[in-house]
Structure 1
């Protein structure tokens, strides 16, 4: 049985899902786990979850005679990779970093360079329902504590890039640090 299958089955048996498996040249085996996604139910992996999976994987890998020097089990973190359709559904409305396999080429219209491959914007389902898109504005966000002018000025245009999962090299949640917690799309702040 392949290492990926062994780890995925073990992790799934404990009630988690395998996000990423990496084997380094130095013999380190890195396993990233998360809870399976259920709409409306947001759970986060903690240290006890990682410890539980580590213990079970150590036993399983010994039984399967998998050679490794060190095992690291962790949560996906704030820059979680998005790998499949379900991940994109889960994080629709969040800010993501997208890297395309190939530059946009001649299809690039407007103010975007034709050879650009990396984009940061809000993840949305495409209007036709057959893919995904990121939308962004090149207008800089105000800095914390900066006074924002109330004068009416022309906002920067919103740009949109549509893509399919086949066109992606990599997609990750944008590592936005907000010590009040990541705000979900459509959720109002309390007390305001």
Structure 2
């Protein structure tokens, strides 16, 4: 696990200047084995806008060249660069702060007020507590109780 963490940290450092130049931001780097293959995934976002195919291609080409030069990953892998998507994960404090006023989906490690998950509007995030309104009820959710969080599409 430590080796995987080092790979993700190194890739995040390597891609940072490219993203700054393109007006993009890094959402997440994943490095994991799927079946017989290792996958290195880089998820991007553009504050106030959308990530397009040209953005992904530019970052992929630039990062691929840099990775080939430094060669920090000992085994073969596939590089995937994509938008974080409309239902992007929420992981950092900044993610939660930017999601205030938006619809979110939260799942918990154990039931909270009898619920395993909540989907509603994130009213606030402060002192590591999220206030979420679901169907007229407001829940105070300690961040450490959240197993997974993401933006949720409204249909």
**TM superposition score normalised by structure 2:** 0.81
Is the counterpart of residue 167 in structure 1 residue 145 in structure 2? yes
Aligned match of 2:120: 121
Q: Which has the higher helix share?
A: 2
Counterpart selection for 2:44 from 2, 20, 33: 33
Contact between 1:30 and 1:72, CA under 8 Å: does it hold in 2?
A: yes
> 1:56-97 CA distances to partner (integer Å, 9 max, x unpaired)?
211122123223332110001111001111111111111110
Find the structure with the greater CA-based Rg. Answer: 1
Q: Which has the higher strand share?
A: 2
- CA distance in 2: counterparts of 1:176 and 1:73, whole angstroms: 26
- CA distance in 1: counterparts of 2:138 and 2:118, whole angstroms: 10
Q: Which runs of 5+ in 1 are unaligned?
A: 109-113, 138-157, 178-192
Contact between 1:97 and 1:172, CA under 8 Å: does it hold in 2?
A: yes
Q: Which runs of 5+ in 2 are unaligned?
A: none
Q: CA RMSD in A?
A: 1.9
Is the counterpart of residue 12 in structure 1 residue 16 in structure 2? yes
Contact between 1:96 and 1:120, CA under 8 Å: does it hold in 2?
A: yes
Aligned match of 1:146: none
List aligned pairs for 1:133-144, cutoff 5 A.
133-137=131-135
Contact between 1:99 and 1:118, CA under 8 Å: does it hold in 2?
A: yes
- CA distance in 1: counterparts of 2:154 and 2:38, whole angstroms: 32
Counterpart selection for 1:93 from 98, 101, 104: 101
> Matched residue of 1:57: which SS?
helix
- CA distance in 1: counterparts of 2:139 and 2:52, whole angstroms: 35
